[in-house]
Structure 1
Amino acid sequence: MKFVALVSSFVLLHVSWTSGKTEHRPQKDICEPTASCAECIMYSPICAWCSDKNFTKGGESEGSRCATALELQQRGCASEHLIQPKGVVNIIKDTPLSDSADQEVVTQLAPQSVHLKLRPEEKKKFRVKFKRAEGYPIDLYYLMDLSYSMKDDLENVKKLGSDIQRALNEVTKSVRIGFGSFVDKTVLPYVSTMKSKLQNPCPSRTERCQPPFSYRHVLDLTSNLTLFEMRVSAENISGNLDSPEGGLDAMLQAAVCTDRIGWRNVTRLLVFASDDVFHTAGDGKLAGIYLPTDGHCHLNENGEYDHSNIYDYPSVGHLAHVLSSANIQPIFAVTNDVISTYEELSKLIPKSVVGELTKDSSNVVNLISEAYNNLSSTVNLEHSNLPKGINILYDSHCLDSSSKGQPTGQCSGVKINQAVEFDVTVWANRRICQDGAQSFKLRVLGFNEELNVHIEPLCDCNCGDNEEFSSYCNEGLGNYSCGVCSCPDGYRGKQCECQQDKQDSESDCRVGESLPCNGRGRCECGRCACNLGVRGEFCDCDDNGCEKHDGQVCGGISRGICDCGKCKCLANYTGDDCTCSLDTSACMTSEGICSGHGRCVCNKCICEEGYHNKVCKECPQCPTPCQKHSPCAECKAFGTGPLSSTCSAKCENVNVTMVKASDPRLKDREGWCQEKKEDSLITFHITEDGKMVHILVKEKEVVDQTHLIMGLVLGTAMIGLLIIVAYRVAVELIDRQEYKRFQKARNEERWNESNNPLFKSATTTVMNPNFQD
């Protein structure tokens, strides 16, 4: 049951944390027509509104004023009428970081206050710096398990006050130490309720133990080491029945009883020393304790938790929340046999660490020192009280590494007076327009300083043209704002010119025998009110009917716009869908456009036959320069070859020079071509000078093929001989194997060793009794 309760606590904590994580939703990359400027800027951060009174044309809906700024400008909206509010980041307070804790006011986190103006889904970023000041004060509360198995440990802790302070004095001069202890709830089945055992829970009657208790605060945080050692020395060991202890009860009370413990707004460390596991939420039902812990301080005048038999143990999630809110960093000093359990617990409690404690706690000073260094060298920037609808991500810029888009900011290996930085990205959904101004806090775990972030929604337009009862809106019938009229009840139309109860005349909304408004809108007061994306006096212009590429009309607003069903491409683009770029940069090579073997179409090479790759450089089937000029070299030098009869005509641009084998130009053989003929070898070198080709041809080398023929004959004979030998060896091996098998079979036969009882001879001798010799 204890295990189930523990697992359930872990799961609940994980679920609560997961639900608190920010959800990254992609922004919309298009703008849809909206009824007002306010709705437009709430739709997406890329959307803008044109407030020009004459922007919309006949039949065009007022909702078409909402589009991207580029599209509106392309459609003729002047910049002074372009409404696109932008979010703003204002740093309200930014006190410089401190180098030392000796100052009256120590600043380790900057800035301290930020004000954000946010449009829905618009992301804004600001930078946060943190630097751990040298000598920052420390409060250390030592919480010890006093069950009987910790007897040796208590004797050592009584002597450790000065050693602990001496170790922490290496990082700060201001150290205060307190002490508390715990056993378990004083009811069955955790503690024996026999009167004698309640008075002395020691296993042996001759040994004296103090009565069991749940949690007792022994000493307030103090810098008086003599008092610490005196009060701890007065403590005595106690005992209980089961193995798990009431440590979570003690930790929660030590965290929430801030005034009783004496916690300052400094680095708070809680050393939890135990040699066993812990009870958690749900275990209290074994003793009939079912009320969940209320998270309040319940210490009596003697410093004891007097409600331990009323409230159940806290869950891991509840404890993690309380410790994090109180900025307390737990150090779990536990023995080897339970260290794996506390390592799992530490994963669920922010800013906690686990260290292995020897059986008698003799290494506790070194353990605390190492654990503190590990905790203080890790900087965790997190948010708290994040309102619904607000999202946040962190980019961490650490000393030797960085990370982006994380739910928390974290840097490890940070030393004293080394600053680290975090970029905090904040955005909100449309809910911010309903909830209004909100705020949350950022802080570095383990430190009391906070950064206040105030968010103001930017959900309305300030077009600067508001007119009540404007003459433009049917002689004062409606109000004018951001280029459109707001009509009173009973009126409609662009200028509130149409009464809703007036009978519409469809004859004024059609051309010839066509449908009213060409079936793409409705007739209102003798005028067409076109559907979205359609305009024109009779809704004859469809701005959605153009060619699309990857789902975008006319390849997107950066390439072209749709005008009455046809794409109008911007400069440097062409084609039906404006996706053909007139740029040729992707086709250019050092040899020219498409390496001189193709043409550039839509900034892509179309290669000649035989050539391929992006710039037409490769041609596997094309002849090499040696192959191309070999016939001319042969015919002009020796009068032979395939061009011997047409050499003058075919090789008129080729100049051939014969050279002897002793010519010094033959020493450098790099770049020379060699072509083998039936009985000779032609060697030549090619250089090109404009349209003229110059070829140096060496004297023919006669190839002696006698050795080649002899080699082929001998090689063939040897191969045949090897095949015959291999065949004979294989046959011999098979025969020997079969003979051995036959011999073995004969040796195993037994029928000839005895007479066959069923055997009868074919010859029978019969004696004639009447025969007389």
Structure 2
Amino acid sequence: MLGSSRWLVMSGILVAGLLASFAQANYPPPERLTGMNPCISKQTCHECIQTPHCAWCAAPKFPEKRCFLPNINTKIFATCPPEYTLNPDNVFSMLRHRNLTKGGYAAGGGGAGGGYDSIEGSYSNFSSSSSSSSHFHKESSSSGGSRRQEAVQMWPQEVNLKLRINEAYRMSFAYSQAEDYPVDLYYLMDLSKSMEDDKKKLSDLGQLLVESMSKITSNFRLGFGSFVDKVVMPYVNTVPKSLIEPCDGCAAPYGYKNIMRLSQDTSKFAGLVRNASVSGNLDAPEGGFDAIMQAIVCRNQIGWREKARRLLVFSTDAGFHYAGDGKLGGIIKPNDGLCHLDTRGTYTHSSLQDYPSISQINLKVKHNAINIIWAVTEEQINVYKRLMKHVEGSFAGKLSDDSSNVVELIREQYDAISSSVEMKDTASSAVKVKYFSSCLGTGPAVETSKCDGLKVGTKVEFIAEIEVTSCPANRSEWKQKFDIYPVGINETLTVNLEMLCDCECERQGHMYEEKSPECNGVGTLKCGVCECYDGFFGKRCECSPHQELTGFDKHFQSCRPDNTSLVDCSGRGTCACGQCECEERDNPKEVGTMKGVCVSLRSD
């Protein structure tokens, strides 16, 4: 008898081992299954469509898995009625798409020659509703019938995009540099005493600068401003006599002055530079960041145009004060990034608020599409080259001791700026944008946002790969607008993005029913499934804590083999009141149920 009992125990252990082996051999662990088919574990429509390539069946009393891969789960796809199959596609359309133009003039009457030309483009991967437009805004000149054609350097200009989560969409766009594009150049000069000889040389070279830039564009405007530093200790000497004349022949110290507004009357430039007085200060760094901030944000006072290449030439032989340095003079109020110029063009808040930070300068440069050229002496060039990395679209060039090479420097830096294009965007953290282009080559596109070697009229095609990486918690952020733009050019491609984060049937309307009979009157039917009210659960809200098995967690865990599993009933059944209802097989004998597991027990 004892031997018989020992045999029964050993047989039980063997049978249990065989069942476990069957479960492992004939059905993969839930984690492996989820990895192969990410759809099966999704219990709601919004979870399903947020999973790439998954579709949802919203039909009532649907016997199969609702979230499925249409190309793989063909049985489910065929079983679900088409009107209940929810599988939203990414949708792209163009709103504004004027053709690229070379600029120049359209001949008319006695107008200037050089006729207008448009750059046609064909992009096969755009939708048929997105054909190119041939309508252009025309700006008439006041003279003899000639009309100036507004340059269009980005194509298209605005698009709509509906996008599923984690499904990247590739969108083509193009850039072309227009000829005779307007240029605004604002020369911002350090007029501390050490720059006196540089001022003289700049006034002598003023006309040469105008002539050089006129070879680039016939639509050139020039402006001039100067800076010293904050008029407080320890930056300048505040002894009353020194506040009047800080050095022999010097003017009273000041923070920043806008001396000449951007103007086509460039003959004034040399005279104003020649007559501008130098001043003096105590410490080596200057208040150039205060001046840059005002020169950028005071758009009306400076005269920046909407459609122009904007250059700010910053000339100095010294370093710069930045955010936090104001504390040395007892100034603790942060820089507000706003315009504070009086009617004479003088910065009124120099001693009232701190210097801007590098990041503030960079933000304003980006928002206003300005290229800064750091024209600095040899001892400062390394500092400003490092600054280039933190101020978008800026370039550093080395001035000679008396600034005699300033014209060549500006022309050289302008050529470097205009012969390359770099794409940036203002997308939020929930949106990832990658750029691809073959630039001027004919090979396959590679990942890059920058192309060099451009000439007037050269068209560069880019591909923007846009992917929504997550749905923001705030529903209002599911619709976003961001710009793709070439650095330093005030033209953009605006993307109106709608994130497909949920299903319409999860909101009141079609396939949405509160207190639905399908949910035993204690739940809302959404997209074919029940969302149970508090105190009820189960496929049709048929379970409650008052039944034999008490507590939600107890029911929930009864359908999973252990606490680490993420899938009910191994993905081959549904959990009903703490028990697995396994899916029917073609051969009913194939299905076996263990704790929280629906396994296939195949027999040879």
Task: Find the counterpart in structure 2 of residue 397 from structure 1.
Answer: 438
Deviations 1:194-242 (A, max 9, x none): 333322223xx4xx22122111110100111222223222212222222
Task: Find the counterpart in structure 1 of residue 57 from structure 2.
Answer: 50
2:279 counterpart (223, 238, 255)? 238
Paired with 1:518 and 1:38, the residues of 2 have a C-alpha distance of 23
Aligned residue for 1:321, secondary structure, equals helix
Deviations 1:82-134 (A, max 9, x none): 43211111112111001124443321111111111122222222112110100
1:33 counterpart (34, 41, 48)? 41
State whether structure 2 residue 110 is matched by structure 1 residue 90: no
Paired with 1:209 and 1:242, the residues of 2 have a C-alpha distance of 16
Paired with 1:451 and 1:540, the residues of 2 have a C-alpha distance of 57
Task: Find the counterpart in structure 2 of residue 247 from structure 1.
Answer: 288
Aligned residue for 1:165, secondary structure, equals helix
Paired with 1:276 and 1:469, the residues of 2 have a C-alpha distance of 72
Unaligned ranges ≥5, structure 2:
1-34, 106-147, 550-557, 562-567, 570-574
Paired with 1:41 and 1:543, the residues of 2 have a C-alpha distance of 31
1:419 counterpart (443, 459, 469)? 459
Task: Find the counterpart in structure 1 of residue 379 from structure 2.
Answer: 337
State whether structure 2 residue 117 is matched by structure 1 residue 114: no
State whether structure 2 residue 298 is matched by structure 1 residue 295: no
Where do residues 58-137 of structure 1 align in structure 2 (5 Å cutoff)? Answer: 64-74=65-75, 77-78=78-79, 80=82, 82-102=85-105, 103-137=148-182
Deviations 1:319-360 (A, max 9, x none): 111122111111111111111111111121111111111111
Where do residues 456-471 of structure 1 align in structure 2 (5 Å cutoff)? Answer: 456-461=498-503, 466=511, 468=513
Paired with 1:153 and 1:313, the residues of 2 have a C-alpha distance of 25
State whether structure 2 residue 254 is matched by structure 1 residue 213: yes
**What is the identity percentage for the equivalent residue pairs of Structure 1 and Structure 2?**
37
Task: Find the counterpart in structure 2 of residue 383 from structure 1.
Answer: 425
Deviations 1:685-725 (A, max 9, x none): xxxxxxxxxxxxxxxxxxxxxxxxxxxxxxxxxxxxxxxxx
1:306 counterpart (348, 373, 380)? 348
Task: Find the counterpart in structure 2 of residue 351 from structure 1.
Answer: 393
Aligned residue for 2:174, secondary structure, equals strand
Paired with 1:125 and 1:402, the residues of 2 have a C-alpha distance of 15
Whether the 8 Å contact between 1:33 and 1:67 is mirrored in structure 2 is no
Compared with structure 1, are the counterparts of its residues 499 and 381 closer, same or farther at alpha carbon in structure 2 (3 Å cutoff)?
closer
Aligned residue for 1:69, secondary structure, equals coil
Amino acid at match of 1:327: A
Where do residues 253-332 of structure 1 align in structure 2 (5 Å cutoff)? Answer: 253-265=294-306, 266-332=308-374
Aligned residue for 2:366, secondary structure, equals helix
Amino acid at match of 1:66: C
Amino acid at match of 1:415: K
Compared with structure 1, are the counterparts of its residues 480 and 150 closer, same or farther at alpha carbon in structure 2 (3 Å cutoff)?
closer
Aligned residue for 1:264, secondary structure, equals coil
Whether the 8 Å contact between 2:314 and 2:372 is mirrored in structure 1 is yes
1:145 counterpart (179, 190, 211)? 190
Q: CA RMSD in A?
A: 3.7
Amino acid at match of 1:564: S
Aligned residue for 2:465, secondary structure, equals strand
Amino acid at match of 1:342: Y
Structure 1 residue 52, shift from structure 2 partner: 5.0
Task: Find the counterpart in structure 1 of residue 130 from structure 2.
Answer: none
Compared with structure 1, are the counterparts of its residues 470 and 273 closer, same or farther at alpha carbon in structure 2 (3 Å cutoff)?
closer
Task: Find the counterpart in structure 1 of residue 268 from structure 2.
Answer: 227
Task: Find the counterpart in structure 1 of residue 137 from structure 2.
Answer: none
Deviations 1:503-534 (A, max 9, x none): 569xxxxxxxxxx999997xxxx977654976
Paired with 2:188 and 2:244, the residues of 1 have a C-alpha distance of 23
Aligned residue for 2:259, secondary structure, equals strand
Deviations 1:115-158 (A, max 9, x none): 11122222222112110100110000011111111111111111
Compared with structure 1, are the counterparts of its residues 56 and 177 closer, same or farther at alpha carbon in structure 2 (3 Å cutoff)?
same
Paired with 1:49 and 1:433, the residues of 2 have a C-alpha distance of 24
Aligned residue for 1:431, secondary structure, equals coil
Aligned residue for 2:518, secondary structure, equals coil
Query: How many aligned residue pairs are there?
Result: 499
Task: Find the counterpart in structure 1 of residue 117 from structure 2.
Answer: none
Amino acid at match of 2:265: N
Paired with 1:83 and 1:444, the residues of 2 have a C-alpha distance of 38
Paired with 1:449 and 1:223, the residues of 2 have a C-alpha distance of 23
Paired with 1:454 and 1:470, the residues of 2 have a C-alpha distance of 37
Paired with 2:560 and 2:67, the residues of 1 have a C-alpha distance of 24
Amino acid at match of 1:132: Q
Aligned residue for 1:348, secondary structure, equals coil
2:495 counterpart (453, 459, 474)? 453
Deviations 1:711-743 (A, max 9, x none): xxxxxxxxxxxxxxxxxxxxxxxxxxxxxxxxx
Amino acid at match of 1:307: H
Whether the 8 Å contact between 1:131 and 1:416 is mirrored in structure 2 is yes
Whether the 8 Å contact between 1:544 and 1:565 is mirrored in structure 2 is no
Amino acid at match of 1:92: L
Amino acid at match of 2:384: Y
Paired with 1:470 and 1:315, the residues of 2 have a C-alpha distance of 58
Whether the 8 Å contact between 1:55 and 1:77 is mirrored in structure 2 is no
Paired with 2:297 and 2:519, the residues of 1 have a C-alpha distance of 68
Paired with 2:205 and 2:36, the residues of 1 have a C-alpha distance of 62
Give 1 or 2 for the bigger CA radius of gyration: 1
2:450 counterpart (407, 410, 433)? 410
Aligned residue for 1:189, secondary structure, equals coil
Paired with 1:171 and 1:543, the residues of 2 have a C-alpha distance of 81
Compared with structure 1, are the counterparts of its residues 538 and 432 closer, same or farther at alpha carbon in structure 2 (3 Å cutoff)?
farther
Where do residues 429-578 of structure 1 align in structure 2 (5 Å cutoff)? Answer: 429-431=470-472, 434=475, 435-461=477-503, 466=511, 468=513, 473=518, 482-484=527-529, 498=542, 500=544, 530-531=579-580, 540-541=591-592, 564-565=600-601
Structure 1 residue 418, shift from structure 2 partner: 0.6
Aligned residue for 2:428, secondary structure, equals coil
Compared with structure 1, are the counterparts of its residues 51 and 303 closer, same or farther at alpha carbon in structure 2 (3 Å cutoff)?
closer
Compared with structure 1, are the counterparts of its residues 184 and 483 closer, same or farther at alpha carbon in structure 2 (3 Å cutoff)?
closer
Structure 1 residue 541, shift from structure 2 partner: 4.3
Aligned residue for 1:70, secondary structure, equals coil
Compared with structure 1, are the counterparts of its residues 528 and 281 closer, same or farther at alpha carbon in structure 2 (3 Å cutoff)?
closer
Q: TM-score, normalised by structure 2?
A: 0.74
Amino acid at match of 2:55: A
Whether the 8 Å contact between 2:437 and 2:462 is mirrored in structure 1 is yes
Compared with structure 1, are the counterparts of its residues 269 and 227 closer, same or farther at alpha carbon in structure 2 (3 Å cutoff)?
same
Task: Find the counterpart in structure 1 of residue 407 from structure 2.
Answer: 365
Compared with structure 1, are the counterparts of its residues 271 and 462 closer, same or farther at alpha carbon in structure 2 (3 Å cutoff)?
closer
Structure 1 residue 397, shift from structure 2 partner: 3.1
Compared with structure 1, are the counterparts of its residues 449 and 101 closer, same or farther at alpha carbon in structure 2 (3 Å cutoff)?
farther
Paired with 1:391 and 1:136, the residues of 2 have a C-alpha distance of 32
Larger RCO (alpha carbons 8 Å, 6+ apart): 2
Whether the 8 Å contact between 1:517 and 1:538 is mirrored in structure 2 is no
